[in-house]
Amino acid sequence: MGQITARQLGFALGAEVTGIDLRKPLNDLARREILDAWHRHLVLVFPGQDLSAAEQIAFSRNFGELEENEALPYYRDPGHKEILLVTNRRIGGKPSETRNTGRNWHADLTYTTRPAKGSLLLCREKPAVGGDTMWANLYLAYETLSEPLRRFLDGLEAIHDISLVKGIEKRDPEKVAELRRLNPPVAHAVVKTHPETGRKSLCLGQRIRGFVGMTEEESSPILGFLNQHATSPELVYRHRWSVNDLVMWDNRCTLHVALADFDQGKTRHMTRTSLVGEPSGRIVAEGAAPDREALMQSIASVS
Ligand SMILES: [Fe+2]
Protein backbone atom coordinates (compact mmCIF):
# COMPACT_ATOMS: atom_id res chain seq x y z
CA MET A 1 0.00 0.00 0.00
CA GLY A 2 1.55 3.29 -1.12
CA GLN A 3 1.74 6.38 1.03
CA ILE A 4 0.94 8.87 -1.70
CA THR A 5 -1.63 9.03 -4.49
CA ALA A 6 -0.56 10.27 -7.93
CA ARG A 7 -3.36 11.15 -10.37
CA GLN A 8 -2.28 11.80 -13.95
CA LEU A 9 -3.19 15.33 -15.11
CA GLY A 10 -1.93 15.40 -18.68
CA PHE A 11 -1.39 12.80 -21.40
CA ALA A 12 2.22 13.82 -22.01
CA LEU A 13 3.20 14.80 -18.46
CA GLY A 14 1.94 16.02 -15.09
CA ALA A 15 0.36 14.37 -12.06
CA GLU A 16 -1.32 15.58 -8.89
CA VAL A 17 0.07 14.12 -5.68
CA THR A 18 -2.14 13.92 -2.59
CA GLY A 19 -2.12 12.05 0.70
CA ILE A 20 0.94 13.81 2.06
CA ASP A 21 1.68 16.84 4.28
CA LEU A 22 4.95 18.34 3.08
CA ARG A 23 5.49 20.21 6.36
CA LYS A 24 6.31 16.90 8.03
CA PRO A 25 9.61 15.04 7.54
CA LEU A 26 9.49 12.56 4.67
CA ASN A 27 10.03 8.90 5.41
CA ASP A 28 12.06 6.78 2.99
CA LEU A 29 9.04 5.10 1.42
CA ALA A 30 7.23 8.37 0.68
CA ARG A 31 10.45 9.86 -0.71
CA ARG A 32 10.92 6.88 -3.01
CA GLU A 33 7.30 7.03 -4.15
CA ILE A 34 7.60 10.74 -4.94
CA LEU A 35 10.78 10.10 -6.94
CA ASP A 36 9.11 7.26 -8.85
CA ALA A 37 6.11 9.49 -9.65
CA TRP A 38 8.47 12.33 -10.63
CA HIS A 39 10.39 10.12 -13.05
CA ARG A 40 7.14 8.85 -14.56
CA HIS A 41 5.21 12.14 -14.77
CA LEU A 42 8.05 14.78 -14.85
CA VAL A 43 5.84 17.46 -13.24
CA LEU A 44 4.21 16.86 -9.84
CA VAL A 45 1.57 19.15 -8.37
CA PHE A 46 1.13 19.00 -4.58
CA PRO A 47 -2.02 20.99 -3.80
CA GLY A 48 -2.80 22.62 -0.45
CA GLN A 49 0.76 22.88 0.86
CA ASP A 50 0.95 26.00 3.02
CA LEU A 51 4.70 25.88 3.65
CA SER A 52 6.91 28.48 5.31
CA ALA A 53 10.16 29.35 3.49
CA ALA A 54 12.06 27.05 5.88
CA GLU A 55 9.60 24.21 5.22
CA GLN A 56 9.88 24.63 1.45
CA ILE A 57 13.67 24.47 1.79
CA ALA A 58 13.51 21.42 4.07
CA PHE A 59 11.18 19.50 1.73
CA SER A 60 13.27 20.40 -1.34
CA ARG A 61 16.46 19.14 0.36
CA ASN A 62 15.04 15.60 0.32
CA PHE A 63 15.88 15.50 -3.38
CA GLY A 64 19.38 16.95 -3.42
CA GLU A 65 21.61 19.92 -2.77
CA LEU A 66 19.87 23.28 -3.19
CA GLU A 67 20.92 26.04 -5.52
CA GLU A 68 21.95 29.19 -3.62
CA ASN A 69 21.19 31.28 -6.67
CA GLU A 70 24.66 32.77 -7.09
CA ALA A 71 23.84 33.19 -10.79
CA LEU A 72 20.86 35.42 -9.91
CA PRO A 73 21.92 37.19 -6.71
CA TYR A 74 19.46 40.10 -6.98
CA TYR A 75 16.34 37.99 -6.94
CA ARG A 76 16.90 35.94 -3.79
CA ASP A 77 14.74 36.09 -0.68
CA PRO A 78 16.86 38.32 1.60
CA GLY A 79 16.32 35.88 4.47
CA HIS A 80 16.92 32.63 2.51
CA LYS A 81 19.45 32.45 -0.30
CA GLU A 82 17.96 29.11 -1.42
CA ILE A 83 14.70 30.88 -2.31
CA LEU A 84 14.30 32.82 -5.52
CA LEU A 85 11.41 35.27 -5.58
CA VAL A 86 9.32 35.12 -8.73
CA THR A 87 7.03 37.99 -8.02
CA ASN A 88 5.42 41.16 -9.27
CA ARG A 89 5.23 42.62 -5.76
CA ARG A 90 7.18 45.87 -5.51
CA ILE A 91 10.56 45.46 -3.89
CA GLY A 92 12.14 48.49 -2.20
CA GLY A 93 9.48 50.68 -3.78
CA LYS A 94 10.39 49.56 -7.32
CA PRO A 95 8.68 47.11 -9.65
CA SER A 96 10.21 43.66 -9.17
CA GLU A 97 12.63 42.60 -11.90
CA THR A 98 11.31 39.04 -11.82
CA ARG A 99 7.72 40.10 -12.51
CA ASN A 100 8.06 38.95 -16.14
CA THR A 101 10.42 36.06 -15.57
CA GLY A 102 10.11 32.87 -17.60
CA ARG A 103 8.16 34.31 -20.51
CA ASN A 104 9.86 32.15 -23.11
CA TRP A 105 10.30 28.38 -23.18
CA HIS A 106 13.28 27.31 -21.09
CA ALA A 107 14.69 24.98 -18.47
CA ASP A 108 16.10 26.67 -15.37
CA LEU A 109 19.74 27.79 -15.35
CA THR A 110 20.79 26.18 -18.65
CA TYR A 111 22.91 29.30 -19.21
CA THR A 112 25.22 27.97 -16.48
CA THR A 113 27.48 24.92 -16.31
CA ARG A 114 25.22 23.55 -13.56
CA PRO A 115 21.67 23.67 -14.93
CA ALA A 116 19.13 22.97 -12.21
CA LYS A 117 18.11 19.31 -12.20
CA GLY A 118 14.74 20.21 -10.75
CA SER A 119 12.80 23.19 -9.44
CA LEU A 120 10.02 23.52 -6.87
CA LEU A 121 7.71 26.50 -7.21
CA LEU A 122 5.16 27.38 -4.53
CA CYS A 123 2.28 29.70 -5.32
CA ARG A 124 1.79 32.17 -2.44
CA GLU A 125 -0.59 34.67 -4.05
CA LYS A 126 -2.18 34.91 -7.48
CA PRO A 127 -4.78 36.78 -9.48
CA ALA A 128 -8.26 35.26 -9.65
CA VAL A 129 -7.70 34.32 -13.29
CA GLY A 130 -4.57 33.32 -15.22
CA GLY A 131 -0.86 33.42 -14.49
CA ASP A 132 -0.67 29.82 -15.76
CA THR A 133 2.52 27.86 -16.39
CA MET A 134 3.03 25.29 -19.17
CA TRP A 135 5.50 22.41 -19.28
CA ALA A 136 6.57 20.31 -22.29
CA ASN A 137 7.91 16.74 -22.35
CA LEU A 138 11.37 16.64 -23.96
CA TYR A 139 11.64 12.85 -23.94
CA LEU A 140 8.65 12.69 -26.25
CA ALA A 141 10.04 15.59 -28.27
CA TYR A 142 13.16 13.53 -28.97
CA GLU A 143 11.35 10.24 -29.51
CA THR A 144 8.93 11.75 -32.04
CA LEU A 145 11.68 13.07 -34.34
CA SER A 146 12.67 11.12 -37.44
CA GLU A 147 15.70 8.86 -37.25
CA PRO A 148 17.89 11.00 -39.59
CA LEU A 149 17.19 14.16 -37.56
CA ARG A 150 17.90 12.36 -34.29
CA ARG A 151 21.23 11.19 -35.76
CA PHE A 152 22.05 14.77 -36.81
CA LEU A 153 21.32 16.09 -33.33
CA ASP A 154 23.29 13.40 -31.47
CA GLY A 155 26.69 14.89 -30.77
CA LEU A 156 25.62 18.47 -31.57
CA GLU A 157 25.99 21.25 -28.99
CA ALA A 158 23.93 24.41 -28.57
CA ILE A 159 24.94 27.73 -27.03
CA HIS A 160 22.71 28.89 -24.15
CA ASP A 161 22.88 32.58 -23.34
CA ILE A 162 21.37 34.55 -20.42
CA SER A 163 21.07 37.54 -22.78
CA LEU A 164 18.17 35.69 -24.43
CA VAL A 165 16.07 35.61 -21.26
CA LYS A 166 12.97 37.38 -22.53
CA GLY A 167 12.70 40.99 -21.39
CA ILE A 168 16.16 41.07 -19.79
CA GLU A 169 16.96 44.22 -21.80
CA LYS A 170 14.27 46.04 -19.82
CA ARG A 171 15.97 45.36 -16.49
CA ASP A 172 18.50 47.60 -14.72
CA PRO A 173 21.46 47.78 -17.19
CA GLU A 174 24.10 47.56 -14.45
CA LYS A 175 22.53 44.44 -12.98
CA VAL A 176 22.18 42.89 -16.45
CA ALA A 177 25.86 43.58 -17.20
CA GLU A 178 26.76 41.82 -13.95
CA LEU A 179 24.44 38.89 -14.75
CA ARG A 180 26.17 38.56 -18.14
CA ARG A 181 29.57 38.64 -16.47
CA LEU A 182 28.47 35.95 -14.00
CA ASN A 183 26.93 33.84 -16.77
CA PRO A 184 28.96 33.78 -20.00
CA PRO A 185 27.44 31.71 -22.87
CA VAL A 186 27.57 27.95 -22.29
CA ALA A 187 27.50 25.08 -24.80
CA HIS A 188 25.38 22.05 -23.86
CA ALA A 189 24.79 18.81 -25.74
CA VAL A 190 21.47 18.97 -27.62
CA VAL A 191 20.68 15.35 -26.77
CA LYS A 192 21.21 14.29 -23.18
CA THR A 193 20.65 11.01 -21.38
CA HIS A 194 18.77 11.43 -18.12
CA PRO A 195 21.05 10.09 -15.36
CA GLU A 196 18.21 8.52 -13.39
CA THR A 197 15.82 7.19 -16.03
CA GLY A 198 18.38 6.43 -18.76
CA ARG A 199 16.04 7.98 -21.36
CA LYS A 200 17.28 10.41 -24.00
CA SER A 201 15.79 13.87 -24.23
CA LEU A 202 16.43 17.15 -25.99
CA CYS A 203 18.10 20.06 -24.20
CA LEU A 204 16.37 22.98 -25.87
CA GLY A 205 14.55 26.25 -25.31
CA GLN A 206 14.39 29.82 -26.50
CA ARG A 207 17.55 30.95 -24.71
CA ILE A 208 19.77 29.31 -27.34
CA ARG A 209 21.84 31.40 -29.71
CA GLY A 210 22.68 28.62 -32.16
CA PHE A 211 24.57 25.38 -32.64
CA VAL A 212 28.31 25.12 -32.10
CA GLY A 213 30.20 25.23 -35.42
CA MET A 214 27.15 26.34 -37.40
CA THR A 215 26.22 29.81 -38.64
CA GLU A 216 23.26 31.66 -37.20
CA GLU A 217 21.51 31.31 -40.58
CA GLU A 218 21.89 27.53 -40.43
CA SER A 219 20.97 27.24 -36.78
CA SER A 220 17.86 29.40 -36.52
CA PRO A 221 15.45 27.49 -38.75
CA ILE A 222 16.42 24.16 -37.18
CA LEU A 223 16.19 25.61 -33.69
CA GLY A 224 12.85 27.21 -34.53
CA PHE A 225 11.51 23.91 -35.77
CA LEU A 226 12.80 21.96 -32.76
CA ASN A 227 11.34 24.38 -30.23
CA GLN A 228 8.03 24.41 -32.06
CA HIS A 229 7.99 20.62 -32.25
CA ALA A 230 8.93 20.21 -28.56
CA THR A 231 6.21 22.58 -27.38
CA SER A 232 3.40 21.36 -29.61
CA PRO A 233 0.13 21.14 -27.64
CA GLU A 234 0.17 17.32 -27.53
CA LEU A 235 3.42 17.39 -25.58
CA VAL A 236 2.33 20.08 -23.10
CA TYR A 237 0.62 20.24 -19.70
CA ARG A 238 -0.85 23.61 -18.71
CA HIS A 239 -1.24 24.28 -15.01
CA ARG A 240 -3.85 26.63 -13.57
CA TRP A 241 -2.40 27.56 -10.21
CA SER A 242 -4.20 27.65 -6.89
CA VAL A 243 -2.65 29.30 -3.85
CA ASN A 244 -0.49 26.74 -1.96
CA ASP A 245 0.14 24.55 -4.97
CA LEU A 246 3.73 23.35 -4.89
CA VAL A 247 4.89 22.17 -8.31
CA MET A 248 8.07 20.13 -8.61
CA TRP A 249 9.45 19.58 -12.09
CA ASP A 250 12.42 17.92 -13.74
CA ASN A 251 14.43 20.42 -15.79
CA ARG A 252 16.42 17.64 -17.47
CA CYS A 253 13.49 16.43 -19.52
CA THR A 254 11.04 19.36 -19.63
CA LEU A 255 10.75 22.96 -20.77
CA HIS A 256 8.41 25.48 -19.18
CA VAL A 257 7.01 28.92 -19.82
CA ALA A 258 5.23 31.36 -17.47
CA LEU A 259 2.29 33.00 -19.22
CA ALA A 260 1.41 36.68 -18.92
CA ASP A 261 -2.30 35.82 -19.15
CA PHE A 262 -3.37 37.87 -16.14
CA ASP A 263 -4.12 41.37 -14.90
CA GLN A 264 -0.65 42.78 -14.23
CA GLY A 265 -2.14 45.05 -11.55
CA LYS A 266 -2.88 41.97 -9.43
CA THR A 267 -0.24 40.24 -7.31
CA ARG A 268 1.37 37.01 -8.46
CA HIS A 269 3.89 35.87 -5.89
CA MET A 270 5.80 32.58 -6.07
CA THR A 271 8.84 31.20 -4.28
CA ARG A 272 11.25 28.83 -6.00
CA THR A 273 13.86 26.41 -4.80
CA SER A 274 16.09 24.58 -7.30
CA LEU A 275 18.06 21.37 -7.07
CA VAL A 276 21.67 21.67 -8.15
CA GLY A 277 22.36 19.63 -11.28
CA GLU A 278 25.38 17.67 -12.38
CA PRO A 279 28.15 19.85 -13.86
CA SER A 280 27.66 19.88 -17.64
CA GLY A 281 28.44 22.01 -20.66
CA ARG A 282 31.36 24.36 -21.17
CA ILE A 283 31.81 28.11 -21.38
CA VAL A 284 32.31 29.34 -24.96
CA ALA A 285 33.53 32.65 -26.36
CA GLU A 286 30.77 34.89 -27.70
CA GLY A 287 30.55 35.06 -31.47
CA ALA A 288 32.09 31.60 -31.86
CA ALA A 289 29.78 30.79 -34.78
CA PRO A 290 31.43 30.69 -38.22
CA ASP A 291 30.90 33.77 -40.27
CA ARG A 292 28.52 33.23 -43.20
CA GLU A 293 30.15 35.98 -45.26
CA ALA A 294 33.54 34.31 -44.93
CA LEU A 295 32.04 30.99 -45.98
CA MET A 296 30.42 32.63 -49.02
CA GLN A 297 33.77 34.23 -49.91
CA SER A 298 35.28 30.76 -50.04
CA ILE A 299 33.12 30.06 -53.14
CA ALA A 300 35.47 32.34 -55.07
CA SER A 301 38.50 30.28 -54.14
CA VAL A 302 36.72 26.98 -54.93
CA SER A 303 35.41 27.95 -58.36
FE1 LIG B 1 11.87 28.91 -15.07
**Is 17 strand, coil or helix?**
strand
| Rg, C-alpha atoms of the chain | 20
Task: Give the residue from 101, 110, 92, 69 showing the smallest Cα distance to 202.
Answer: 110
pLDDT of residue 72: 81
| pLDDT single digits (tens) 214-252 | 999 999 999 999 999 999 999 999 999 999 999 999 999
Run of H or E residues at 60 = helix 53-60
Residue 67 CA to ligand 1 centre (angstroms): 13
Residue 211 CA to ligand 1 centre (angstroms): 22
Run of H or E residues at 32 = helix 28-41
Whether the CB-CB separation of 244 and 47 falls below 8 Å is answered with: yes
Q: Which residues of the chain have pLDDT under 70?
A: 1, 286-288, 303
Distance CA 139, CA 142 (A): 5
Residue 14 CA to ligand 1 centre (angstroms): 16
Residue 282 CA to ligand 1 centre (angstroms): 21
CB proximity list for 274: less than 8 A, separation 6 or greater: 66, 67, 69, 84, 108, 109, 116, 118, 119, 120, 251
Residue 86 CA to ligand 1 centre (angstroms): 9
Residue 169 CA to ligand 1 centre (angstroms): 17
Residue 102 CA to ligand 1 centre (angstroms): 5
Distance CA 41, CA 23 (A): 23
Residue 256 CA to ligand 1 centre (angstroms): 6
Residue 46 CA to ligand 1 centre (angstroms): 18
Residue 121 CA to ligand 1 centre (angstroms): 9
pLDDT of residue 303: 66
Run of H or E residues at 56 = helix 53-60
Residue 216 CA to ligand 1 centre (angstroms): 25
Residue 106 CA to ligand 1 centre (angstroms): 6
| pLDDT single digits (tens) 128-140 | 999 999 999 999 9
Task: Give the residue from 239, 99, 279, 261 showing the smallest Cα distance to 171.
Answer: 99
Residue 184 CA to ligand 1 centre (angstroms): 18
Residue 198 CA to ligand 1 centre (angstroms): 24
Residue 277 CA to ligand 1 centre (angstroms): 15
Distance CA 229, CA 95 (A): 35
CA 221, distance to chain mean position in Å, is: 22
Q: Is 250 exposed, middle or buried (0-12, 13-18, 19+ CB in 10 A)?
A: buried
Distance CA 277, CA 90 (A): 31
pLDDT of residue 168: 87
- Which residue type sits at 41? H
Residue 25 CA to ligand 1 centre (angstroms): 27
Residue 297 CA to ligand 1 centre (angstroms): 41
pLDDT of residue 287: 53
What count of residues does the chain have?
A: 303
pLDDT of residue 300: 73
Residue 3 CA to ligand 1 centre (angstroms): 29
pLDDT of residue 295: 80
Whether the CB-CB separation of 257 and 134 falls below 8 Å is answered with: yes
Residue 8 CA to ligand 1 centre (angstroms): 22
